[in-house]
Protein backbone atom coordinates (compact mmCIF):
# COMPACT_ATOMS: atom_id res chain seq x y z
CA UNK A 1 0.00 0.00 0.00
CA UNK A 2 1.29 3.47 -0.90
CA UNK A 3 0.29 6.70 0.85
CA UNK A 4 1.58 10.20 0.19
CA UNK A 5 1.44 13.51 1.98
CA UNK A 6 2.72 16.92 0.99
CA UNK A 7 3.28 20.23 2.79
CA UNK A 8 4.94 23.56 1.94
CA UNK A 9 7.86 25.26 3.62
CA UNK A 10 7.43 28.76 5.04
CA UNK A 11 9.15 32.05 5.45
CA UNK A 12 8.56 34.39 8.40
CA UNK A 13 7.80 37.95 7.39
CA UNK A 14 7.39 39.37 10.92
CA UNK A 15 7.66 38.36 14.54
CA UNK A 16 10.42 35.72 14.72
CA UNK A 17 11.67 35.27 18.29
CA UNK A 18 9.05 37.66 19.69
CA UNK A 19 6.44 35.03 18.77
CA UNK A 20 8.05 32.68 21.31
CA UNK A 21 7.03 35.24 24.01
CA UNK A 22 3.46 35.81 22.85
CA UNK A 23 3.83 38.53 20.20
CA UNK A 24 2.00 38.43 16.87
CA UNK A 25 3.88 37.12 13.83
CA UNK A 26 3.28 36.76 10.11
CA UNK A 27 4.36 33.78 8.00
CA UNK A 28 4.00 33.01 4.31
CA UNK A 29 3.91 29.55 2.72
CA UNK A 30 6.50 28.79 0.05
CA UNK A 31 5.97 27.22 -3.37
CA UNK A 32 8.61 24.64 -2.34
CA UNK A 33 7.17 21.50 -0.75
CA UNK A 34 8.18 18.38 1.16
CA UNK A 35 6.60 15.17 -0.10
CA UNK A 36 6.48 11.98 1.95
CA UNK A 37 5.66 8.55 0.51
CA UNK A 38 4.90 5.64 2.84
CA UNK A 39 4.99 2.01 1.67
CA UNK A 40 4.74 -1.25 3.59
CA UNK A 41 8.31 -2.16 4.51
CA UNK A 42 10.88 -2.40 7.28
CA UNK A 43 11.83 1.08 8.53
CA UNK A 44 14.00 2.13 5.54
CA UNK A 45 14.26 5.90 5.00
CA UNK A 46 15.32 7.42 1.68
CA UNK A 47 15.78 11.21 1.74
CA UNK A 48 16.06 13.00 -1.62
CA UNK A 49 17.52 16.49 -1.23
CA UNK A 50 16.86 19.62 -3.24
CA UNK A 51 19.31 20.49 -5.97
CA UNK A 52 22.60 21.81 -4.56
CA UNK A 53 21.92 20.75 -0.95
CA UNK A 54 24.69 18.65 0.55
CA UNK A 55 24.70 15.51 2.68
CA UNK A 56 25.84 17.46 5.79
CA UNK A 57 22.76 19.63 5.22
CA UNK A 58 20.65 16.50 5.38
CA UNK A 59 22.28 15.35 8.60
CA UNK A 60 21.95 18.73 10.22
CA UNK A 61 18.35 19.04 9.07
CA UNK A 62 17.30 17.70 12.45
CA UNK A 63 17.83 14.12 11.46
CA UNK A 64 14.73 13.46 9.35
CA UNK A 65 14.70 9.92 10.74
CA UNK A 66 14.04 11.20 14.28
CA UNK A 67 11.18 13.35 13.05
CA UNK A 68 9.74 10.41 11.11
CA UNK A 69 9.99 8.11 14.14
CA UNK A 70 8.14 10.62 16.28
CA UNK A 71 5.47 11.23 13.61
CA UNK A 72 4.91 7.56 12.73
CA UNK A 73 5.29 6.07 16.20
CA UNK A 74 5.01 2.27 16.30
CA UNK A 75 4.20 2.15 12.55
CA UNK A 76 7.74 3.35 11.70
CA UNK A 77 9.31 -0.15 11.71
CA UNK A 78 6.66 -1.53 9.35
CA UNK A 79 7.01 1.19 6.71
CA UNK A 80 9.55 2.34 4.14
CA UNK A 81 9.61 6.11 3.80
CA UNK A 82 10.70 8.23 0.90
CA UNK A 83 11.15 11.94 1.57
CA UNK A 84 11.42 14.39 -1.32
CA UNK A 85 12.81 17.41 0.51
CA UNK A 86 11.92 20.20 -1.90
CA UNK A 87 12.43 22.77 0.89
CA UNK A 88 16.11 23.64 1.47
CA UNK A 89 17.06 22.27 4.91
CA UNK A 90 18.70 24.32 7.67
CA UNK A 91 17.90 27.65 6.11
CA UNK A 92 14.91 28.96 8.07
CA UNK A 93 12.37 27.73 5.53
CA UNK A 94 10.57 25.34 7.85
CA UNK A 95 11.76 22.06 6.30
CA UNK A 96 11.37 20.17 9.61
CA UNK A 97 7.82 21.41 10.12
CA UNK A 98 6.91 20.66 6.49
CA UNK A 99 8.33 17.14 6.89
CA UNK A 100 6.27 16.65 10.06
CA UNK A 101 3.07 17.90 8.40
CA UNK A 102 3.63 15.91 5.18
CA UNK A 103 4.21 12.71 7.20
CA UNK A 104 1.07 13.22 9.30
CA UNK A 105 -0.89 13.94 6.11
CA UNK A 106 0.42 10.71 4.58
CA UNK A 107 -0.85 8.89 7.68
CA UNK A 108 -4.18 10.64 7.15
CA UNK A 109 -4.65 11.66 10.76
CA UNK A 110 -5.47 13.92 12.50
CA UNK A 111 -7.67 15.68 9.94
CA UNK A 112 -8.68 18.99 11.56
CA UNK A 113 -6.15 21.80 11.19
CA UNK A 114 -5.89 22.62 14.93
CA UNK A 115 -5.37 18.93 15.82
CA UNK A 116 -2.85 18.47 13.01
CA UNK A 117 -1.04 21.58 14.30
CA UNK A 118 -0.85 20.21 17.86
CA UNK A 119 0.58 16.91 16.56
CA UNK A 120 3.03 18.65 14.21
CA UNK A 121 4.31 20.89 17.05
CA UNK A 122 4.98 17.77 19.11
CA UNK A 123 6.85 16.13 16.20
CA UNK A 124 8.77 19.34 15.40
CA UNK A 125 9.95 19.61 19.00
CA UNK A 126 12.41 16.80 18.13
CA UNK A 127 14.20 19.40 15.99
CA UNK A 128 13.58 22.64 17.85
CA UNK A 129 13.14 22.06 21.56
CA UNK A 130 10.13 24.25 22.29
CA UNK A 131 8.86 25.66 18.99
CA UNK A 132 6.19 28.36 18.92
CA UNK A 133 4.31 26.43 16.22
CA UNK A 134 4.45 29.15 13.56
CA UNK A 135 6.32 26.90 11.11
CA UNK A 136 3.81 24.01 11.07
CA UNK A 137 0.89 26.49 11.16
CA UNK A 138 2.08 28.18 7.95
CA UNK A 139 2.65 24.77 6.40
CA UNK A 140 -0.80 23.44 7.39
CA UNK A 141 -2.84 26.53 6.45
CA UNK A 142 -0.86 26.94 3.20
CA UNK A 143 -1.77 30.64 3.10
CA UNK A 144 -0.32 33.85 4.54
CA UNK A 145 -1.19 33.80 8.25
CA UNK A 146 -1.13 35.96 11.35
CA UNK A 147 0.00 33.67 14.18
CA UNK A 148 -0.05 34.30 17.91
CA UNK A 149 0.55 31.97 20.83
CA UNK A 150 -0.43 33.20 24.28
CA UNK A 151 -2.44 30.87 26.51
CA UNK A 152 -3.73 29.36 23.27
CA UNK A 153 -2.74 29.41 19.61
CA UNK A 154 -4.55 31.69 17.20
CA UNK A 155 -4.04 31.29 13.45
CA UNK A 156 -5.74 33.69 11.08
CA UNK A 157 -5.36 33.51 7.29
CA UNK A 158 -4.67 36.96 5.88
CA UNK A 159 -6.57 38.50 3.03
CA UNK A 160 -3.98 40.34 0.97
CA UNK A 161 -5.21 43.65 -0.44
CA UNK A 162 -2.78 43.88 -3.36
CA UNK A 163 -0.50 41.32 -4.98
CA UNK A 164 2.82 41.14 -3.20
CA UNK A 165 6.12 39.80 -4.55
CA UNK A 166 8.48 38.48 -1.92
CA UNK A 167 12.12 37.71 -2.63
CA UNK A 168 13.33 34.86 -0.45
CA UNK A 169 17.05 34.09 -0.14
CA UNK A 170 19.72 32.69 2.16
CA UNK A 171 23.09 34.19 3.03
CA UNK A 172 25.79 32.84 5.33
CA UNK A 173 25.44 29.69 7.38
CA UNK A 174 22.40 28.91 9.56
CA UNK A 175 23.64 27.71 12.95
CA UNK A 176 20.38 26.02 14.05
CA UNK A 177 17.29 27.44 15.73
CA UNK A 178 17.44 26.04 19.28
CA UNK A 179 20.78 27.64 20.39
CA UNK A 180 19.74 31.05 19.07
CA UNK A 181 16.35 30.90 20.82
CA UNK A 182 18.17 29.87 24.03
CA UNK A 183 20.58 32.81 23.73
CA UNK A 184 17.70 35.30 23.38
CA UNK A 185 16.12 33.71 26.48
CA UNK A 186 19.31 34.33 28.47
CA UNK A 187 19.47 37.98 27.35
CA UNK A 188 15.82 38.36 28.31
CA UNK A 189 16.50 37.05 31.81
CA UNK A 190 19.41 39.51 32.18
CA UNK A 191 17.46 42.54 30.89
CA UNK A 192 13.74 41.71 31.04
CA UNK A 193 12.42 45.25 30.51
CA UNK A 194 14.70 46.09 27.63
CA UNK A 195 14.10 42.82 25.81
CA UNK A 196 10.39 42.86 26.71
CA UNK A 197 9.86 46.28 25.13
CA UNK A 198 11.89 45.28 22.06
CA UNK A 199 9.68 42.18 21.72
CA UNK A 200 6.58 44.38 22.03
CA UNK A 201 7.91 46.53 19.18
CA UNK A 202 8.48 43.43 17.04
CA UNK A 203 4.85 42.47 17.71
CA UNK A 204 3.71 46.00 16.81
CA UNK A 205 5.73 45.78 13.58
CA UNK A 206 3.91 42.52 12.80
CA UNK A 207 0.53 44.17 13.33
CA UNK A 208 1.53 47.15 11.16
CA UNK A 209 2.64 44.61 8.56
CA UNK A 210 -0.73 42.83 8.78
CA UNK A 211 -2.51 46.15 8.27
CA UNK A 212 -0.29 46.99 5.29
CA UNK A 213 -0.86 43.58 3.70
CA UNK A 214 -4.64 43.77 4.20
CA UNK A 215 -4.98 47.27 2.79
CA UNK A 216 -2.40 46.81 0.03
CA UNK A 217 -0.15 49.45 1.64
CA UNK A 218 3.14 47.75 0.85
CA UNK A 219 5.10 50.91 1.78
CA UNK A 220 3.83 50.40 5.35
CA UNK A 221 4.87 46.74 5.20
CA UNK A 222 8.35 47.83 4.09
CA UNK A 223 8.69 50.44 6.87
CA UNK A 224 7.63 47.90 9.50
CA UNK A 225 10.19 45.43 8.11
CA UNK A 226 12.98 48.01 8.45
CA UNK A 227 12.12 48.64 12.11
CA UNK A 228 11.97 44.89 12.82
CA UNK A 229 15.31 44.41 11.08
CA UNK A 230 16.89 47.13 13.25
CA UNK A 231 15.72 45.43 16.45
CA UNK A 232 16.74 41.94 15.34
CA UNK A 233 20.15 43.37 14.42
CA UNK A 234 20.33 44.86 17.93
CA UNK A 235 19.72 41.36 19.31
CA UNK A 236 22.84 40.21 17.40
CA UNK A 237 20.79 37.98 15.12
CA UNK A 238 21.80 39.43 11.74
CA UNK A 239 24.91 37.84 10.24
CA UNK A 240 27.26 39.96 8.13
CA UNK A 241 26.19 38.39 4.82
CA UNK A 242 22.52 38.78 5.68
CA UNK A 243 23.00 42.44 6.60
CA UNK A 244 24.79 43.12 3.30
CA UNK A 245 22.11 41.22 1.35
CA UNK A 246 19.31 43.21 3.05
CA UNK A 247 21.02 46.46 2.05
CA UNK A 248 21.49 45.17 -1.51
CA UNK A 249 17.81 44.21 -1.76
CA UNK A 250 16.66 47.65 -0.61
CA UNK A 251 19.10 49.43 -2.92
CA UNK A 252 17.75 47.34 -5.82
CA UNK A 253 14.18 48.48 -5.17
CA UNK A 254 12.67 46.37 -2.37
CA UNK A 255 10.23 48.37 -0.21
CA UNK A 256 11.69 46.67 2.84
CA UNK A 257 13.94 43.72 3.63
CA UNK A 258 14.96 41.85 6.75
CA UNK A 259 16.40 38.66 8.13
CA UNK A 260 13.86 35.88 8.54
CA UNK A 261 13.58 32.99 10.99
CA UNK A 262 16.01 32.26 13.77
CA UNK A 263 18.99 34.16 12.32
CA UNK A 264 22.33 34.10 14.09
CA UNK A 265 25.41 33.70 11.92
CA UNK A 266 23.34 33.56 8.75
CA UNK A 267 20.18 32.14 7.23
CA UNK A 268 17.10 33.37 5.46
CA UNK A 269 16.15 36.87 4.41
CA UNK A 270 13.00 38.33 2.86
CA UNK A 271 12.44 41.39 0.71
CA UNK A 272 9.01 42.78 -0.22
CA UNK A 273 8.41 44.27 -3.66
CA UNK A 274 5.33 45.81 -5.30
CA UNK A 275 5.98 44.49 -8.81
CA UNK A 276 7.44 41.33 -10.36
CA UNK A 277 9.94 43.51 -12.23
CA UNK A 278 11.28 44.98 -8.99
CA UNK A 279 11.43 41.50 -7.44
CA UNK A 280 13.41 40.11 -10.40
CA UNK A 281 15.79 43.09 -10.12
CA UNK A 282 16.34 42.28 -6.44
CA UNK A 283 17.04 38.60 -7.26
CA UNK A 284 19.62 39.69 -9.88
CA UNK A 285 21.30 42.17 -7.49
CA UNK A 286 21.54 39.46 -4.82
CA UNK A 287 22.92 36.97 -7.35
CA UNK A 288 25.65 39.48 -8.23
CA UNK A 289 26.69 39.28 -4.56
CA UNK A 290 26.65 35.47 -4.65
CA UNK A 291 23.33 35.23 -2.77
CA UNK A 292 20.75 32.84 -4.27
CA UNK A 293 17.13 33.82 -4.06
CA UNK A 294 13.80 33.44 -5.81
CA UNK A 295 10.44 35.20 -6.04
CA UNK A 296 7.27 34.06 -4.27
CA UNK A 297 4.04 35.85 -5.18
CA UNK A 298 0.85 36.14 -3.13
CA UNK A 299 -2.43 37.10 -4.72
CA UNK A 300 -5.42 38.68 -3.04
CA UNK A 301 -7.62 36.16 -1.16
CA UNK A 302 -11.36 36.65 -1.61
CA UNK A 303 -12.38 35.98 2.01
CA UNK A 304 -10.89 36.10 5.46
CA UNK A 305 -11.96 33.81 8.25
CA UNK A 306 -10.72 33.09 11.70
CA UNK A 307 -9.45 29.55 11.99
CA UNK A 308 -8.89 29.12 15.68
O1 LIG B 1 13.59 27.68 12.53
P2 LIG B 1 13.38 29.03 11.96
O3 LIG B 1 14.60 29.68 11.45
O4 LIG B 1 12.22 29.11 11.01
O5 LIG B 1 12.92 29.99 13.20
C6 LIG B 1 11.72 29.77 13.87
C7 LIG B 1 11.20 31.03 14.45
C8 LIG B 1 11.57 31.33 15.91
O9 LIG B 1 10.69 32.38 16.31
C10 LIG B 1 13.01 31.81 16.02
C11 LIG B 1 11.39 30.10 16.80
C12 LIG B 1 9.95 29.67 16.98
O13 LIG B 1 9.75 28.53 17.41
O14 LIG B 1 9.03 30.46 16.73
Instruction: Please tell me the predicted confidence (pLDDT) of residue 131.
Output: 87
131 within ligand 1 shell (Cβ under 6 A): yes
The residue that leads in pLDDT, 38 or 306, is: 38
3-state helix vs strand vs coil in the chain, percent to 5: 45, 25, 30
144 within ligand 1 shell (Cβ under 6 A): no
User: Across all residues in the chain, what is the average pLDDT?
Assistant: 92
Instruction: Please tell me the predicted confidence (pLDDT) of residue 301.
Output: 64
Q: Is the pTM of this model over 0.85?
A: yes
What is the spatial distance between Cα 199 and Cα 176, in angstroms, rounded to a whole number? Answer: 21
Probe ligand 1: pick from 98, 101, 123, 131, max atoms within 8 Å of CB? 131
Which residues lie below 8 Å from residue 74, measured CB to CB, with a gap of 6+?
Answer: none
132 within ligand 1 shell (Cβ under 6 A): yes
Cis amide linkage into residue 110, ω under 30° from 0: yes
Tens-place pLDDT, residues 151-170: 999 999 999 999 999 999 99
Residue 217 is a catalytic residue: no
What is the spatial distance between Cα 104 and Cα 100, in angstroms, rounded to a whole number? Answer: 6
Instruction: Please tell me the predicted confidence (pLDDT) of residue 305.
Output: 47
Atom of ligand 1 nearest to the CA of 12: 4
Best CA proximity match to 178, nearest among 67, 55, 264: 264
Atom of ligand 1 nearest to the CA of 181: 10
Q: Which helix (H) or strand (E) holds 202?
A: helix 192-215
Q: Which of 84, 122, 135, 233 is catalytic?
A: 135
Amino acid sequence: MKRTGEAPGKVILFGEHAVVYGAAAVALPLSKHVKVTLRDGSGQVDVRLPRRATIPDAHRAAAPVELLRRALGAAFDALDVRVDLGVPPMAGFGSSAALAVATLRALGTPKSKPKLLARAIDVESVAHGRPSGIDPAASIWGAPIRFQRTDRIRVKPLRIGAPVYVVVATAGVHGGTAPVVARIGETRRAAPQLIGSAMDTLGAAADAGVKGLRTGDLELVGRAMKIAQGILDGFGLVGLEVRAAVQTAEAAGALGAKMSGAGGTGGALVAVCATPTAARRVVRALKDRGVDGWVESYAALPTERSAR
